[in-house]
Amino acid sequence: MIKRNLLVMGLAVLLSACGFHLRGTDTNALTVKDMNLSARDAYGPTVTQLRNVMKNSGVNVSASAPYELVLTSESETQRAASYAGAGRSVDYELSTVLSYTIQGRNNAPLLSDKLEVQKIYSYDGNNITGSGQEAAQIRSEMRRELVQKMMSRLQMLSPAQLEQLQAKADERERAEALEVEAARRAQDAQPQQSPLEFPAK
């Protein structure tokens, strides 16, 4: 019994050392622990699900966080992938694109990108209700996949990387401010032309 326990413990140590994790155990751990989350649809299903996953991964989702993940747009499309005639099944390709931006101090954009998920499902013209329910279920699965992809992107970020991006954004802001100030001074240095005066008759 002792040998068996030692063997199990040894295998667990080896598996954890090579990066193996049991499903559902700390697979979404993030090194960025403070990040706000917002979206145009503040109570939409995607942002709500993502917020829950972030919190469950140990992220403090708060308006006072130094960084903010902004879901700028989410678009769903559907197109026919094949057609088999009236009353028969048709294959549709469903697509969802999620665009996002991570902002730092003073709402400075640090990086922007987008995620896309595609699925194909068969629409049965003889079972409209069932096909509609299947499409809704697939959309729900696609949303979960989008959230997991977003978490994978966040896992790739570290506080040091975000600080570097913030430093570059601050530098750009200072350069733009200097350009504006230089343009203003150049404008002020130009002699102002007085209005033309015509001799009185």
Q: How confident is the model at residue 123 (pLDDT cuts 50, 70, 90)?
A: confident
Query: Which phi and psi (to 5°) does residue 115 adopt?
Result: -120, 150
User: What's the pLDDT at 55?
Assistant: 95
Q: Mean pLDDT throughout 138-144?
A: 94
Which residue type, as a one-letter code, is found at position 19? G
Q: How confident is the model at residue 200 (pLDDT cuts 50, 70, 90)?
A: low
* pTM score, whole prediction: 0.72
Hey, what domains does the chain have and what are their CATH numbers? 27-173 (3.30.160.150)
Using the CB atoms, write b or e for 114-151: b if 16+ within 10 Å. Answer: ebebeeebebeeeeeeebeeebeeebeebbeebbbebb
* pLDDT greater than 80 at residue 124: no
pLDDT in tens, 85-108: 555 668 889 999 999 999 999 899
